[in-house]
Amino acid sequence: MDIRHASHPEDVKRYDTQTLRKHFLIESLFEPGHLHMTYTHYDRLVIGGAMPAEQPLVLEAPQTLKTEYFFERREAGFVNLGGPAVIAVDGEEHSLNRLDALYVGKGAKKVTLASPDPSDPAKLYFCSANAHHTLPVSKMAIDKANPNHLGSLETSNERTIYQFIHEGGLQSCQLMLGITILKPGSIWNTMPAHLHDRRMEAYLYFDLNPDARVFHMMGLPEESRHLVVANEQAVISPPWSIHSGAGTSNYSFIWAMAGENYTFKDMDSVPMDTLK
């Protein structure tokens, strides 16, 4: 478990590129036969990636959580980015194809992640937030998710947002999660930028070619910074930070939010003339 502490925005103004990447970029999530996790003190979110091979991987409570089992006081949302996956929750198996999602609630004692075909391994990305009551394990396939079509080719941000875990979909205590897919010819994931001071957000960028990159914009609106992000890398976005990005080609990303409010409407748009 990698641990990332919260940073004050006044301090971040003085970060060089290496320091910015050290605090906010997760560069490696998927390694055959391994499970990687990062614990951020922003809303206590855990960001993880698992790539089970011949043997299933068990999602256990590391020493960081100080609990007997991972879901003792947590919930999580999983999205499969690879070959077929099977997630077993206390013995009950749930099959996930590519881009399917699964919610696991507080109280699940044994969760294992497996690849039925090790030659085509699953890639399970997950985000976990604190939870205060128990909700049922629920699956949603990508074709059952609520699609929102936004943007246009003229503004280079024609995209579809698929909402999985939210107030109108799979229920959770505080976690929200979904996928945004940009159409060919579009590169901006959102612009004008926005922020939400009562929720943090994590981005996982995927479906990028090896030589493609996303320039992820972050920082205070009047003190913007950027991270250069490669395929299947994740970004921790603090509540005080804008979060927007432009790619060298179209791409997709998984967004996950945790915090005080449980609504997509809780956001503050940043006027273009404010950005610096």
Mean pLDDT confidence for 147-165: 92
**pLDDT tens by residue, 163-173:** 999 988 999 99
Please state, in angstroms and rounded to a whole number, the distance separating the CA atoms of residues 18 and 222.
21
Structure confidence at residue 122 (pLDDT): 98
Q: Is the pLDDT of residue 6 over 80?
A: yes
Q: Letter for the amino acid at 142?
A: I
Structure tokens of 230? 């490669």
Query: CA-CA distance, 259 to 240, in Å (whole number)?
Result: 12
Average pLDDT, the chain: 95
Give the pLDDT mean for 65-83.
97
Q: Which two tokens stand for residue 213?
A: 């990159």
User: Range with the lowest mean pLDDT among 50-54, 100-104, 195-199?
Assistant: 195-199
Burial class (CB in 10 A: 0-12, 13-18, 19+), 78: buried
Residue 37 above 90 pLDDT? yes
pLDDT over threshold 80, residue 274: yes
Distances (CA, A) of 263 to 174, 218, 254: 10, 22, 17
Take residue 120 and report the two structure tokens written for it.
């085509």
pLDDT exceeds 80 at position 266: no
Q: How far apart are CA 226 and CA 216, in angstroms?
A: 5
pLDDT at 127 over 90: yes
Identify the pLDDT of residue 76: 98
Q: Name every residue whose Cβ is closer than 8 Å to that of residue 143 and which is 6 or more positions away in sequence.
A: none
> Can you give the pTM of this predicted structure?
0.95
Residue-level pLDDT at 264: 66
Contact 170, 131 (CB under 8 A): no
Provide CB contacts within 8 A for 165, sequence distance 6+: 77, 101, 103, 171, 172, 175, 176, 177, 178
pLDDT at 88: 98
pLDDT at 168: 85
pLDDT at position 47 = 98
